[in-house]
């Protein structure tokens, strides 16, 4: 029973353009949503988070949008850079102690 | 400062053998998590420690899996009588307990032949 889903396994974007990564969830009781970035042979690194009571959080080139009615969140990266090429995981936090992760989206930013 | 470390980085074992995976969290972090990532899959939650106790063991796939944490620091994940389907990358993460961010180690790649 997958509570967090990333339906696009891969995404290819031209350098300088916007990258939009999507994530859907099923549990309306999640407290926080997070995005992690993962390079090969490394553990995921935290990128940005959003509380379930907010609908937008911005940090530099990264913005996360939360649509609670649709149970959908997205990560926008603008402008995209080749160094952004990695696997991006969406995660949801339940009861402030259990995390559910999506299966990841591999982003390729072409120079 | 030092991040989360895991050992070994790679482990190849024969089916039926027991393995121990170690996680050293960031000093002072009270929460510790174990995850498994099978090929092409997302991170699967296994177990969570707050201090030395594990309030949530619901993610452990079977009774062959166990974990302990001592001194509020190092944690060991033990898999008994390994099976080929146990092959995966096992990731450990820690957090200060007040915030939502987790800090991940590099993982242990387990291959069961």
Coil/strand/helix, residue B85: helix
- Do the Cβ atoms of A46 and B103 come within 8 Å? yes
Residues in chain A within 8 Å Cβ distance of B105: 43
- The pLDDT value given to residue B39: 82
- Which residues of chain B have a CB within 8 Å of the CB of A49? 100-101
Q: Do A49 and B44 touch (CB under 8 A)?
A: no
Q: Are A34 and B33 inside 8 Å of each other by CB?
A: no
Q: Who's near B99: CB < 8 A, 6+ residues apart? A: none
**Measured between beta carbons, which residues in chain B are less than 8 angstroms from residue A59?**
none
Helix (H, G, I), strand (E, B) or coil at A73: strand
d(CA A4, CA A27): 8
If we measure between CA atoms, which residue out of B39, B34, B40, B24 comes closest to residue B86? Answer: B39
Residues in Cβ contact with A101 at an 8 Å cutoff, skipping those fewer than 6 apart: A4, A36, A89, A90, A91, B35, B42, B43, B44, B45
Contact A89, B42 (CB under 8 A): yes
Interface check B33 vs A, CB under 8 A: yes
Residue A8 has pLDDT above 70, yes or no: yes
Cβ of B51 under 8 Å from any chain A Cβ?
no
Low-confidence ranges of chain B (pLDDT < 70): 1, 98-99
Taking contacts as CB-CB distances below 8 angstroms, the residues of chain A near B103 are 46
At A86-97, the pLDDT tens digits run: 999 999 998 877
Instruction: Give residue-wise pLDDT tens across range A28-86.
Output: 999 999 999 999 888 999 999 999 999 999 999 999 999 999 999 999 999 999 999 99
Structural tokens at position A66: 């939360």
Inform me whether the C-beta atom of residue B49 falls under 8 Å from chain A C-beta atoms.
no
Q: What is the pLDDT of residue A1?
A: 64
Q: What is the pLDDT of residue A41?
A: 84
Do A101 and B44 make contact, defined as CB atoms within 8 angstroms?
A: yes
Q: Number of residue pairs across A and B with CB atoms under 8 Å?
A: 54
CB contacts, 8 Å: A98 with chain B = 45, 48, 56
pLDDT at B97: 73
Chain B contact present for A22, CB below 8 A: no
């Amino acid at each position: 029973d997958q509570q967090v889903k990333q339906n696009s396994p891969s995404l290819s974007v031209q350098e300088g353009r916007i990258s939009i990564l999507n994530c859907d969830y099923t549990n309306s009781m999640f407290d926080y949503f997070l995005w992690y970035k993962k390079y090969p042979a490394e553990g995921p690194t935290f990128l940005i988070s959003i509380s379930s009571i907010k609908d937008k959080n911005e940090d530099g080139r990264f913005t996360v949008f939360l649509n609670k009615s649709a149970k959908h969140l997205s990560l926008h990266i603008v402008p995209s850079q080749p160094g952004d090429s990695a696997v991006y995981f969406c995660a949801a936090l339940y009861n402030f102690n259990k995390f559910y992760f999506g299966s990841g989206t591999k982003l390729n930013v072409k120079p | 400062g030092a991040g989360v470390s895991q050992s070994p980085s790679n482990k190849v074992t024969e089916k039926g053998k027991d393995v121990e995976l170690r996680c050293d969290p960031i000093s002072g972090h009270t929460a510790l998590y174990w995850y498994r990532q099978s090929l092409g899959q997302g991170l699967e939650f296994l177990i969570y420690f707050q201090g030395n106790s594990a309030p949530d063991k619901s993610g452990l796939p079977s009774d062959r899996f166990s974990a302990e944490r001592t001194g509020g620091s190092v944690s060991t994940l033990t898999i008994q009588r390994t099976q080929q389907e146990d092959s995966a990358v096992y990731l450990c993460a820690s957090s200060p307990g007040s915030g939502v961010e987790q800090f991940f180690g590099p993982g242990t790649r387990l291959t069961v032949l």
